[in-house]
């Protein structure tokens, strides 16, 4: 049987970390955990102590290096996976519990039998029964503490946000995209037709503090999606937890399955094929471009738009939308690689 390894960057929130390790401890062959972040705000000693309870040693110690720089964080994932390229990897944030319908080993077997190298999933939020942002203890059963499943992040951050995640991958040249939302230069025929659920245990007592830090850090490093955290921060500062009666959240109690899963899949598919989603991707990706220019031409690659057949976006759909909303952009090619001429004024 093929081996499967898990890698993450242990960072901001330690509240759920014990439960996360416990969840995966009997599902993977080994952990490759990298320490990354600002040691003045992250309790790395607690993280290391919890790791030792599970017999896990630090793989890469990158404390205080390029903090909140998502490009650097992604490079740590890619460096780690490159160590054992012929094995299976689960690259995942340490508050995401991936639900494989038939188990991880069965998923690998299915992929190998069908010559697939990648499995993708979608983020689902786990929420307390009354929507409160509650404290988590190591003695808690987190699945009971957060029994509701829904679509909170997409609604609060904005419907153009990415909820796609890499669940399982192998290969000699894996290059994950920021946020683990996709893979560069991916072969469509190598993508599994199964879609997993990434249960996101984000909505805890530390959420407001962490969102503030992420918002400030992402903005400082010029990452365009800091706007998503601005939207999230605005909601959390005005509300005492999450409104579980908000129909847009599609909340339902977990009983081994998510009752709105089919509806969520269809909604995600529609969003990915919309003009507004394409416009958002381009706007976020161009955040670093200075418009104080006369004219120049460049190409930009959007491999994340071609994650899977389910999520394929039609770039032609938003060509006109871009031209009207960003009149200084002239799109001369619509393909996974877009060519632009940017003019002043």
pLDDT at 255 over 60: yes
Q: Counting every residue, how long is the chain?
A: 345
Mapped onto helix, strand or coil, the DSSP state of residue 160 is coil
Domain range 4-209, its CATH number among 3.30.70, 1.10.10, 3.90.550, 3.20.80? 3.90.550
The answer to whether 35 and 44 have CB atoms below 8 angstroms apart is: yes
Helices (DSSP H) in 114-200: which residue ranges? 142-145, 152-157
pLDDT at 343 over 80: no
Question: Among residues of the chain, what percentage have pLDDT more than 90?
Answer: 60
* pLDDT classification of 233: cutoffs 50, 70, 90: confident
CA atoms within 13 A on the CB side of 38: 10
Q: Which pLDDT belongs to residue 292?
A: 33
Q: Average pLDDT in the 45-63 region? A: 97
Q: Cα(129)–Cα(144) distance, rounded to whole angstroms?
A: 9
* pLDDT classification of 224: cutoffs 50, 70, 90: low
Token readout for 61 is 């110690």
The answer to whether 23 and 99 have CB atoms below 8 angstroms apart is: no
Q: Average pLDDT in the 193-203 region? A: 97
β-sheet bridge partners, residue 253:
148
pLDDT in tens, 234-247: 999 999 899 999 99
Token readout for 95 is 């508050």
Rounded to whole angstroms, the maximal C-alpha distance in the chain is 61
The answer to whether 21 and 51 have CB atoms below 8 angstroms apart is: yes
* pLDDT classification of 213: cutoffs 50, 70, 90: confident
Q: What share of the chain is helix, strand, coil (3-state, %, to 5)?
A: 35, 25, 40
Q: Average pLDDT in the 76-93 region? A: 95
**Distant-in-sequence, close-in-space partners of 252: CB < 8 Å, separation ≥ 6:** 148, 149, 150, 258, 259, 260
**Strand pairing report for 295-301 and 118-127:** unpaired
* CA 267 to mean position of chain CA atoms: 18
Domain boundaries, the chain: 4-209, 273-343
Q: Which pLDDT belongs to residue 231?
A: 87
Rounded to 10°, the helix 17-24/44-53 angle is 30
Q: Which residue has the tokens 């929420």?
A: 127
Cβ-in-10-Å burial (0-12, 13-18, 19+) of 87 comes to middle
Q: Cα(105)–Cα(295) distance, rounded to whole angstroms?
A: 53
Q: What are phi and psi of 214, to 5 degrees?
A: -65, -40
* pLDDT classification of 322: cutoffs 50, 70, 90: very low
Q: Average pLDDT in the 210-218 region? A: 80
Burial code of 28-65, b = ≥16 C-beta within 10 A, e = fewer? beebbbbbbbbeeebebeebbebbeeeebebbbebbee
* pLDDT classification of 76: cutoffs 50, 70, 90: very high
* CA 343 to mean position of chain CA atoms: 34
pLDDT in tens, 95-147: 999 999 999 999 999 999 999 999 999 999 999 999 999 999 999 999 999 99
């Amino acid at each position: 049987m093929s081996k499967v390894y898990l890698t993450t960057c242990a960072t901001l929130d330690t509240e759920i970390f014990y439960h996360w390790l416990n969840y995966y401890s009997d599902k993977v062959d080994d952990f490759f955990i990298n320490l990354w972040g600002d040691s003045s705000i992250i309790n790395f000693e607690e993280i290391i102590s919890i790791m030792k309870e599970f017999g896990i040693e630090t793989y890469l110690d990158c404390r205080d290096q390029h903090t909140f720089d998502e490009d650097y964080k992604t490079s740590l994932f890619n460096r780690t996976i490159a160590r054992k390229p012929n094995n299976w990897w689960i690259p995942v944030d340490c508050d995401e519990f991936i639900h494989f319908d038939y188990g991880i080993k069965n998923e690998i077997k299915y992929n190998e039998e069908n010559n697939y190298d990648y499995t993708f999933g979608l983020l689902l939020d786990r929420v307390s029964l009354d929507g409160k942002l509650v404290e988590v203890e190591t003695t808690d059963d987190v699945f009971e503490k957060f029994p509701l499943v829904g679509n909170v992040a997409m609604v609060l951050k904005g419907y153009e946000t990415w909820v796609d995640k890499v669940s399982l991958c192998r290969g000699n040249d894996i290059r994950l995209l920021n946020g683990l939302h996709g893979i560069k230069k991916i072969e469509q025929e190598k993508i599994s037709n199964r879609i997993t659920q990434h249960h996101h245990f984000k909505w805890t007592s530390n959420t407001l503090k962490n969102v503030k830090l992420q918002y400030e850090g992402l903005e400082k490093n010029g990452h365009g999606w800091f706007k998503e955290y601005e939207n999230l921060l605005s909601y959390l500062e005005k509300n005492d937890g999450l409104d579980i009666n908000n129909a847009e959240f599609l909340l339902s109690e977990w009983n081994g399955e998510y009752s709105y899963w089919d509806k969520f899949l269809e909604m995600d598919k529609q969003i990915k094929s919309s003009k507004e989603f394409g416009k958002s991707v381009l706007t976020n990706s161009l955040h670093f471009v200075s418009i104080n220019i006369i004219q120049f031409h460049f190409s930009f690659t959007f491999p994340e738009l071609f994650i899977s057949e389910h999520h394929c976006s039609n770039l032609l759909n938003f060509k006109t939308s871009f031209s009207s909303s960003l009149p200084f952009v002239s799109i001369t090619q619509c393909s996974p690689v877009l060519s632009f001429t940017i003019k002043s004024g």
